[in-house]
Amino acid sequence: MERREGLQEARVPRTSLVERAHRRPGGAGAVRRLDRPLARLAHGVERVTATALGPYQSAVVRIGFAATWLLFLLREFPHRHRLYGPDGPWSWRLAQELIADNGSFTALMWSDSRGWFEIVYALAMLSSVLLLLGWRTRTMSVLFMIGVLSLQNRSVFVGDGGDNVIHLMAMYLVLTRCGQVWSLDARRAARAREHGAARAREHGAARAREHGVEGRPTDRVGPVLWWFCGLGLSVVTFMGVLGWGWSLIFWGFWLVHGVWWALGQYAPYGEPRALFRVVGNLIHNAALLVIMAEACLIYATAGWYKVQGSRWQDGTAVHYPLKLDYFSPWPALGDLLVSSAVLLTLVTYGTVIVQVAFPFTLFNRRVKNVLLAFMITEHAVIAVLLGLPFFSLAMIAADAVFLPTSFLQRVGRAVVRCRAALLSVVRSRGRRYEGARAGEAGGDEQGEQGEQEAVAADGETSGGSGGGPDGGEAEDHARVGFTP
């Protein structure tokens, strides 16, 4: 009998069991306590799958690392052949042997000619500029990664900690949707939405969606860029200079980008497009989490290694690099810091404490923001005192992933206001200049007309007076362009 009752209860729908739990004494509270974590979990899953989180943070990371790499390439442009080119101490044959062992990627191993090196270096700079501006960020992020890996893996012994950070972040940026805001892609998408809204108002929203009238403007640049990338990838693949692993990665990126564009153009409201969007959001959020974890790992390992050092323990570690000529571009500033033993000790211990504690403060927003401001300031000081600007810029770009969204939005609005003020000043000066030019042109025309009238009047006066005193006075007026 008990077994039969158990079977009947097992057949009861779940809703009935929940209602029965509500009818029991204290059952409603138990269900509510059970539903709260489930609701939070469902909300979290929905947010992670439906939204690409951190659009402003990912945009700052993109801008920061693209700008850092671009400035580095421009700074080392006169020395590029000795760093990564054929004139460097690490010869092409030695690099080829090392890469054959570790399987790393570099396009500079496809040819040892000087012309090919110049092409790769120029493409690295061009991809940095376009990624900085946010033009076709999906493609430019891949090309940016190719440029970074090609140059850094060519001469692995000339880099420092900042180069390692750029190396890692270049690969992570490929997996993020870092062009959602503050990019040319975002502006193009906003114009497409305005175009679609206008078409929808004109033809009706339901009819526009049903018949595809709503659509977005035809994208001609995307397919051409995709076709050229595919052509270049085909040539490299048939040449056999690309390993099968990297071939699979690049061909996968190429196919995914093509399918994403095709679904956006021809089936923007279909289920495949929605599935791609969910997968893309998951990959973006996971990559952003990896970037955060990487930054925390950098600070945690640096802090714990410093704790084990005797110079950091006695508070004198900062003193020694400030006394090295190689790390003293401004000796007067270094001497000013070294002259205060108390300040030197506070900086030494504060650096260790902040680096060790930062990963544990992520759960407290206020404390995290205070330590983040301290670390950004510290890297700015390192850039000036120790002459390491690119390392500091790379670390500041990595730290930017933790900046609050409200702060980044205020910065964005301030930049927009500054740009509007600058454009208004330029336009006002341009209008003044054009007005002055127009006034000068008008004055010249009036002067020429007056001179012609004066000459004509002078002829009439000289003919009537026979060269008397009045005629001489009129002649003088005519010479200076006055009319009588």
Sign of CA dihedral 99, 103, 105, 108: positive
What backbone phi and psi angles, to 5 degrees, belong to 87? -90, 0
Residue-wise burial string across 322-344, b where 16 or more C-beta atoms lie within 10 A, e elsewhere: beeeeebeeeeebeeebeeeeeb
164, two tokens:
């390692």
In this prediction, residue 452 carries a pLDDT of 58
* pLDDT for position 143: 97
Separation CA 141–CA 131 (nearest Å): 6
Amino acid at 395: M
Question: 250-255: long-range contacts (C-beta < 8 A, 24 or more apart)?
Answer: 250/142, 253/142, 253/174, 254/226, 254/229, 254/230
The per-residue pLDDT for 44 is 82
Query: Which of 322, 367, 360 shows the shortest CA–CA distance to 341?
Result: 322
Contacts 24+ apart (CB under 8 A), 448-457: 450/481, 450/482, 450/483, 451/478, 451/481, 453/483, 454/478, 454/481, 454/482, 454/483, 454/484, 457/483, 457/484
Q: Which of 199, 140, 182, 240 lies closest to 408, judged by CA?
A: 182
Torsions phi, psi of 65, nearest 5?
Answer: -75, -35
CA-to-CA dists, residue 11 to 5, 23, 227, angstroms: 10, 19, 58
- Per-residue pLDDT at 192: 84
Taking residue 39's Cβ as centre, other Cβ atoms within 10 Å add up to 11
Select from 185, 180, 174, 155 the least CA-distant residue to 66: 174
Half-sphere exposure of 210 (CA within 13 A, CB side): 5
CB 309 within 8 A of CB 317: yes
Q: What is the pLDDT of residue 26?
A: 52
272/49 Cα distance (integer angstroms): 15
Crossing angle between the packed helical segments 389-399 and 271-308, to the nearest 10 degrees? 130
- Mean pLDDT by 10-residue block, N- to C-terminus, for the chain (484 residues)? 42 44 52 70 86 96 98 96 91 91 92 94 98 96 97 92 95 96 94 79 59 60 94 94 92 95 88 93 96 96 93 92 88 88 93 94 92 95 94 96 96 92 86 74 58 53 43 37 32
pLDDT at 467: 41
The pLDDT value given to residue 430: 79
DSSP H or E run through 281:
helix 271-308
Q: In this structure, how many other beta carbons lie within 10 angstroms of the beta carbon of residue 316? A: 15
**How many Å apart are CA 78 and CA 144, to the nearest integer?**
21
Residue 151 · residue 127 · CB < 8 Å: no
What is the model's pLDDT at position 21? 46
- Distance CA(137)–CA(129), nearest Å, equals 11
Neighbours of 77 (CB within 10 A): 11
Confidence (pLDDT) at 210 = 52
**Residues 278, 50: Cα–Cα separation, whole Å:** 6
